[in-house]
Amino acid sequence: MKIVKHSFDGIIVGAGGAGLRAAIEAAPTMKLAVITKLYPTRSHTGAAQGGMSAALANVEEDNWNWHAFDTVKGSDYLADQPAVDILCKEAIDAVVELEHWGLPFSRLESGKIAQRRFGGHTVKEGAAPAFRACYAADRTGHMILQTLYQKCVSMGVEFFDEFQVLDIKIEDGVCKGVVAYEIATGDLHVFEARAVTFATGGFGKIFKVSSNAHSLTGDGPGMLYQKGIPLEDMEFYQFHPTGIYRLGILLSEAARGEGGILRNKDGERFMERYAPSIKDLAPRDMVSRAIATEISAGNGAGPNSDYVFLDLTHLGEEAIMKKLPDITDFVRTYVKIEPINDPIPVQPTAHYAMGGIPTDVNGRVLSDHKGGVIEGVYAAGEAACVSVHGANRLGTNSLLDIVVFGKRAGQSMVDYVSSTKASPLNESAADDLSNKISGFMEKEHTTEFSVAKIRSELQDSMEENAKIFRSKETLDNQTEILSDLRERYKNVTISDKSKVFNSELLEAIELDYLLDMADTTVASALARKESRGAHSREDYPDRDDTKFMKHSFAFKNGDSVKLEYKDVELGKYEPMERKY
Amino acid sequence: MEIDLKILRYDPENDKKGHWEYYKVDAEPEERILDLLHKIKWFEDGSLSFRKSCAHGVCGSDAMVVNGENMLACQVLVKEVSNPIKIEPIRGLPVLKDLIVDMEPFFDSYKKVMPFLINDDEPGDRERLQSPEDRDKFEDTTKCILCAACTTSCPVFWTADSYIGPAAIVNAHRFVMDSRDQGSKQRLEIMKDVNGAFRCRTAFNCTSACPRGIQVTKAIEDVKRETLLNN
């Protein structure tokens, strides 16, 4: 295998919003490269739709403290409050900075950035829904991704497109660099670098119905987990209430922010029963649970009674076309109905990982639950867990998270690189990866152990046993299934033995990460004997603040998972019952 | 229903040139062309190579020629195309393997138009103001996902790959028409070049090909007009 050596100060893995924002911060003062398995503009930040919250107060009185209150309450009090304060306070400058870099926000008549309502965001600590989400129609993520990439182009940031990082080198708790696979040639590249940021996004592909891209396979968290670094709060996975029925394609919460209503098969606005004050704009965990409850009560629509309706018909053509053009297109393209005239069949879709690589507020990766850090390794965005989202993320806070904490990770890289010296990493760093790939190339293919077969069983079973409602029974069942899949994965084979664009090889390696993500999700969920935010146990329906005001830390222990816990950092908001 | 697929394959490690391969796949009418490609790749022939990511028409990875027309494989359903389905790589860029082409020349053209906001004024600590009317002037061209469906449908580009192409002009338009931008003079100089906007022969292929519904030919005409007005 051909091995190419590179020497950089800093490497960023992943070129979505968090990676690009970190790059903008770090590039001016160091030799930096961004490595992405896609092209930067293909990253899934571009699929985010509704907005990015910041208390700009362009429409009505607002205050970042109210934003923080909503975020903490939305998190079901599991978010670390000092981190939430940073997120909400720095939000305002983060939005303004993006505008200065050219982001084409929608505008108010005053010329200021337009803001809309979104789930769980209120004024005066719950008094009424707040106009806080800054948006560009319903393609805000696309605009953020484009703007950050444009800024990188203007700065001459160096990219390695379609290179997939598959190994990180850490010696004695200190980062030495990464090893990447060049997708177009099959060559291996050793990148010596003393600061590495992981911004690889989420892992929604552990579920069958998901809003996530095919690329979202937990590469960063998986790579670090396999090196002994824990994953935090993996039991908290968000299901977005309004995915297109069966396909899971996201229909933004902005649809409800603009006045859209959820209805069951009888046309009833059922959210009035579940969240009497803010109804359809309740946080996502509550709305998804409400939909699942309606469906199990027999109130679902369709031949299998397994979906509900998102009704936009009362909004009028002009508002729909102006404010929600993309999701209107998705419905026309994939469902072949006209949302101006007909309600849309929707069901909850696997959407966002609250958990991930544990970091402090400066993006530094934690090595354990006691506050230890790995020198030179950083993480940001959905791959990371700061934790600002706790047990349930509010809509719009992920686009905010990627820019606020992407920037902070970039700053940490700058500080670290300026205070340390380069340390060499030679070609032999590629040995582990080279052996792994040779293993796949040499093993004879059998369809019995194909990647697709194991992966689809993983996705089907996670959908069945570990989705919105969980219990000891379903999780025990899933633990057994995962252990069987893990055994079969050890024999996984590929049919394509070529060097050029061998995506079957990469899917085989990614499946290992997906299994890690599923293992840690299920083990953490089984141990958390309470219901909090997105984690709902039918056998433990209440929140238990005495035992579980804690973040879980899942460590790899052979083929099993070992759990430790860390106290939540509280602040000015006392945990209270979560009602809307 | 059973679908017949005919795919133009090319393996640079073994083939001198491309050749057709034929497949039969069971599919629902509501499935995407991308789903069919996955069925082949995952359960029949793991070596079939194509790019994909979001699978719902926003990332721009999977532009290809389906029954003679440029489209995103994830945005077209089986029931919308006639059977058999013929799939080829997009044209005018070097084929690297199967349905994967070399995107570097495409992104090089994109970068030539300085696709970033140029404004040297001190912006202050709040947002720059822009009226909704000014914002609307470039709304259409902000939708571009750089999938190359437009550029690789352009007959001028097929014969002269030095032509900067529709996608780059769309991205020039996005900034030229933005009231906040001060870089139009430089961008319009690039557009005046022999390989710039005036090579367009208004075939409208680009407009038909755009999976985002951008009025590409109109954007090119806008840029030509701006070039003349700024002369």
Q: How far is A45 from chain B (nearest CA, A)?
A: 9
The conformation of residue A540, written as its DSSP 8-state character, comes to B
pLDDT tens profile A238-292: 999 999 999 999 999 999 999 999 999 999 999 999 999 999 999 999 999 999 9
Does A95 contact B127 at a Cβ distance shorter than 8 Å?
Answer: yes
**Cβ–Cβ under 8 Å, residues A300 and A265:** yes
Average pLDDT over residues A20-28: 98
The conformation of residue A493, written as its DSSP 8-state character, comes to B
Question: Looking at the predicted structure, is the pLDDT value of residue A135 above 90?
Answer: yes
Burial of B14 (0-12, 13-18, 19+ CB in 10 A): exposed
Least CB–CB distance from B96: residue in A104, A501, A502 = A501
Residue B231: pLDDT band (50, 70, 90) is low
Average pLDDT over residues B181-196: 95
Question: Looking at the predicted structure, is the pLDDT value of residue A447 above 90?
Answer: no
Q: Which residues contact A202 (CB under 8 A, 6 or more apart)?
A: A44, A212, A216, A218, A352, A353, A356, A382, A383
State the alpha helices, DSSP H only, in A75-208: 81-100, 140-155
Average pLDDT, chain A: 97
Average pLDDT over residues B134-147: 98
pLDDT tens profile A43-77: 999 999 999 999 999 999 999 999 999 999 999 99
Architecture of the domain defined by A237-351: Alpha-Beta Complex (3.90)
Question: Looking at the predicted structure, is the pLDDT value of residue A345 above 90?
Answer: yes
> Measuring CA to CA, which residue among A380, A375, A80 is closest to residue A221?
A380
pLDDT tens profile B22-36: 999 999 999 999 999
Question: Looking at the predicted structure, is the pLDDT value of residue A221 above 80?
Answer: yes
Return the residue in A105, A143, A147, A214 with the most chain B beta carbons within 10 A, the one to mutate for interface testing: A214
Average pLDDT over residues A480-492: 97
The CATH number given to A429-567 is 1.20.58.100
CA distance A203 to A218: 4
Question: Looking at the predicted structure, is the pLDDT value of residue B69 above 90?
Answer: yes
Q: Give the nearest chain B residue to A48 (CA atoms).
A: B58
Q: Which residues of A touch B55 (CB under 8 A)?
A: 213-214
Least CB–CB distance from B59: residue in A42, A101, A494 = A42
CA distance B210 to A59: 35
How many other C-beta atoms are found inside a 10 Å radius of the C-beta of residue A246?
Answer: 16
CA distance A391 to A147: 30
Question: Looking at the predicted structure, is the pLDDT value of residue A492 above 80?
Answer: yes
Tell me what pLDDT residue B161 has. 87
Looking at the annotation, which residues of A are catalytic?
284
> Measuring CA to CA, which residue among A189, A220, A177 is closest to residue A8?
A177
Domain B2-101 has CATH 3.10.20.30: yes
Q: Which residues of A touch B115 (CB under 8 A)?
A: 150, 153
Average pLDDT over residues A207-229: 98
Least CB–CB distance from B60: residue in A42, A113, A214 = A42
Phi and psi at A250, nearest 5°, equal -70, 135
> Measuring CA to CA, which residue among A202, A220, A221, A159 is closest to residue A35?
A159
Q: How far is A108 from chain B (nearest CA, A)?
A: 7
Q: Taking CB atoms and an 8 Å cut-off, how many pairs form between chains A and B?
A: 149
Residue A507: pLDDT band (50, 70, 90) is very high
pLDDT tens profile B93-136: 999 999 999 999 999 999 999 999 999 999 999 999 999 999 99
CA distance A72 to A68: 6
Domain parsing of chain A, residue ranges: 237-351, 429-567
State the alpha helices, DSSP H only, in A29-80: 64-74
Q: Which two tokens stand for residue B70?
A: 């440029």
Question: Looking at the predicted structure, is the pLDDT value of residue A212 above 70?
Answer: yes
CA distance B146 to B165: 12
| Domain B104-229 classification at class level | mainly alpha
Q: Which residues of A touch B52 (CB under 8 A)?
A: 214
Quick check: ipTM above 0.95? yes
Cα-Cα end-to-end distance for chain B: 59
Question: Looking at the predicted structure, is the pLDDT value of residue A434 above 70?
Answer: yes
Return the residue in A24, A37, A41 with the most chain B beta carbons within 10 A, the one to mutate for interface testing: A41
pLDDT tens profile A68-127: 999 999 999 999 999 999 999 999 999 999 999 999 999 999 999 999 999 999 999 999
Q: β-strands A128-134, A115-123: how paired?
A: antiparallel
Question: Looking at the predicted structure, is the pLDDT value of residue A451 above 70?
Answer: yes
Question: Looking at the predicted structure, is the pLDDT value of residue B230 above 90?
Answer: no
